[in-house]
Structure 1
Amino acid sequence: MARLPRLALAGHPHHLIQRGNNDQAVVVDTADRQMLLDTLGEQAQRAGVALHAYVILEDHFHVLATPATAEALSLWMQAVGRRYVRHFNDRHGRRGTLWEGRYRGTVLQAERYFLPCMAYIDQHPVRAGLVEQALGYAWSSHGHYVGLRTDRFLTPHALYWALGNTPFAREAAYAEMVHAGPSRAEQLMLTEATRKGWAAGDAAFVERLQADTPRRLALTRAGRKPRTQDTSAAD
């Protein structure tokens, strides 16, 4: 089966995952993690991408971001790859590819999946057994959104601002949401949609998006009805 082109739609949030080749480490220490984070943030600004959330793990990273143009995500990830891989190879005396291949991603129905996706990203170190609580992991955007620090490259989404009328109210509401975590159904949707490259949203959302792009957004084209025989024209 031919590989689908990358899913990228301007103005919509996307969840992306980039893994190391053969599950190899993409960061070794704090210096690598900081370099990768700085590169993600700097290149997002240059490419016209609003970076909302991230988590950096040993062998992969997740980001949640909204591109200003359909090309912005690809340009961003290409720039990150070029700059960071050069740093990593030079620093660790290696050569060749670092990434598994092209990144995987999904476009999100914001009102339904944006905040669950943020919680999904922040909870990843907990699910992986690295920490007991999201607060215990330094290399995610969780600390920014609960008021522990300021990540200068992050752009909070309107749905985060709507969590409360004051910074304290927003931070408390978000911390509670991450503690609860996404539902099982939300987690499965985000995992499968990102892995397979389909849109994460309800049928009406997918159908609206499908009208604006020839790229398939679901396993079957949204809105397509089965053909039926017109018996009134039998002769």
Structure 2
Amino acid sequence: MQSLGRRYVLYVNRFYRRTGSLWEGRYKSSVVNAEDYLLACQRYIELNPVRANMVNDPGQYRWSSYRHNGLQMSDNRLTPHLLYLGLGKTAEARCAAYRDLFRPQLDAAAAEDIRAALRLGMPLGNERFAEAVCQKLGIRRNTGQRGRPVKEKEVVASALPGQTDFGF
């Protein structure tokens, strides 16, 4: 089986002119505070095929839940979130309200927050939510900068040329 898997990866990589494993860097996730970001995340995801110039409208993408949420095309594989159900009392009202969410552009700050949370694997939500999730999972909230920490000024100053008193 292992040999078959390796050969299949080679075949796919040659066919699609790519490198690496099949799932390398493809799937990312983040815990999302539904009240603050769920509908923004849905918009972000459902607009990905539009941003990638695969379609002109999210409803044209065959695999998008927009067809169910905004165009009322039934899909029994989907379970609507309570926030989506709260958009209207009837299916027609919910679909109309959902389509209205797509009229303005997705806020650039919200899109960057989503990208950053995915890139860093951090929770997406308000400060209180993010802090609570980080504490519960035992992860640091602030990821800090890469590399070695910068030396303190006193240590650097004591090593300057011409300095003869090293405190020995």
Hey, what's the Cα distance between the residues in 2 that align with 1:151 and 1:218? 40
Moved over 6 A (4+): none
Please report the TM-score for the alignment, with normalisation by the length of structure 2: 0.68
2:57 partner letter: Q
Alignment partner, residue 195 of structure 1: 119
Hey, what's the Cα distance between the residues in 2 that align with 1:179 and 1:218? 34
Percent of pairs identical after alignment?
36
| Map 1:122-141 → 2, pairs under 5 A | 122-141=46-65
User: Partner of 1:149: helix, strand, or coil?
Assistant: coil
Are residues 111 and 149 of structure 1, via their aligned partners in 2, closer, same or farther at CA, if it must alter by over 3 Å? same
Deviations 1:23-64 (A, max 9, x none): xxxxxxxxxxxxxxxxxxxxxxxxxxxxxxxxxxxxxxxxxx
User: Partner of 1:188: helix, strand, or coil?
Assistant: helix
| Map 1:34-45 → 2, pairs under 5 A | none
Alignment partner, residue 146 of structure 1: 70
Alignment partner, residue 95 of structure 2: 171
- Higher helix proportion (structure 1 or 2): 2
Hey, what's the Cα distance between the residues in 2 that align with 1:177 and 1:159? 13
Hey, what's the Cα distance between the residues in 2 that align with 1:171 and 1:101? 33
User: Partner of 2:29: helix, strand, or coil?
Assistant: strand
Confirm whether residue 214 of structure 1 aligns to residue 147 of structure 2.
Answer: no
- Which stretch shifts more, 172-181 or 159-168? 172-181
Hey, what's the Cα distance between the residues in 1 that align with 2:74 and 2:36? 26
Confirm whether residue 112 of structure 1 aligns to residue 32 of structure 2.
Answer: no
Root-mean-square deviation (Å): 2.5
| Map 1:1-235 → 2, pairs under 5 A | 89=8, 97-101=21-25, 103-219=27-143
User: Partner of 1:160: helix, strand, or coil?
Assistant: helix
1:190 partner letter: I
Deviations 1:167-194 (A, max 9, x none): 0000011011123242111100001110
Contact kept? 2:31, 2:122, Cα under 8 Å: yes
Hey, what's the Cα distance between the residues in 2 that align with 1:140 and 1:183? 21
Gap regions ≥5 residues in structure 2:
14-19, 145-168
Contact kept? 1:107, 1:200, Cα under 8 Å: yes
Hey, what's the Cα distance between the residues in 2 that align with 1:154 and 1:194? 23
Displacement of 1:149 in angstroms is 2.1
Are residues 198 and 129 of structure 1, via their aligned partners in 2, closer, same or farther at CA, if it must alter by over 3 Å? same
- Higher strand proportion (structure 1 or 2): 1
Hey, what's the Cα distance between the residues in 1 that align with 2:99 and 2:26? 32
Hey, what's the Cα distance between the residues in 2 that align with 1:145 and 1:201? 23
Displacement of 1:166 in angstroms is 0.6
Whichever of the two has the greater Rg, that structure is 2
